[in-house]
Amino acid sequence: MQTEEEILKIKKVKNTAVRTVVLRHLLSQEKAQSLKDIENALAYTDRSSIFRTLKKFEENKVIHSIEDGSGMTKYAVCAKGCNCDPKDLHYHFYCTNCDKTFCLFDVPIPKIQLPENFKLQQANMVVKGLCDNCNK
């Protein structure tokens, strides 16, 4: 596992106190985090600073965002080597019971056969249902 400093260096994001703590928090969580989640976890860091940090991170491919339909955008750290290309596409799972959203890095995404002359750039694939913990 890389340290926060290493990740930021690779992704060419200048290291600051806020950025380190935000990235550390994201790395420590198994579920994707909303701005509010992060704000709650980092009591002394301002929301707009976190917000701008997330924007910067997303721009530089440190993290990617997920629209899971909960009304709050979620963020998750990109896998090592990820470039947010179509090849890095993966499903996200949203548990309708416990509200947890996370990346399904291990579930392969089949090639999508778009109609004639369409060009794929990115995708937001959210699968919803019950996670193993809630499906009992």
The only residue of 3, 5, 9, 16 in contact with DNA, by rule CB under 7 A: 16
CA-to-CA dists, residue 66 to 17, 36, 45, 62, 90, angstroms: 25, 14, 23, 14, 11
User: Does 131 contact a copy of itself by CB under 8 A?
Assistant: yes
Q: CA angle, 108 as apex, 25 and 133 as ends, to 5°?
A: 55
The only residue of 1, 17, 43, 114 in contact with DNA, by rule CB under 7 A: 17
- Looking at residue 70, the DSSP 8-state letter turns out to be S
What minimum distance in Å lies between the beta carbon of 130 and a copy of itself?
Answer: 4
What minimum distance in Å lies between the beta carbon of 132 and Zn ion?
Answer: 8
Dihedral sign, Cα of residue 109, residue 113, residue 114, residue 120? positive
User: Does 9 contact a copy of itself by CB under 8 A?
Assistant: no
Convert residues 27-56 into a mask of x (bound to a copy of itself by CB under 8 A) and - (unbound). Answer: ------------------------------
104-133 residues near Zn ion, rule: CB under 5 A: 131
Distance spanning both ends of the chain, measured CA to CA: 33
Q: Which residues sit at the interface with DNA, rule CB under 7 A? A: 14, 16-19, 34-36, 44-49, 51-53, 55-56, 71-73
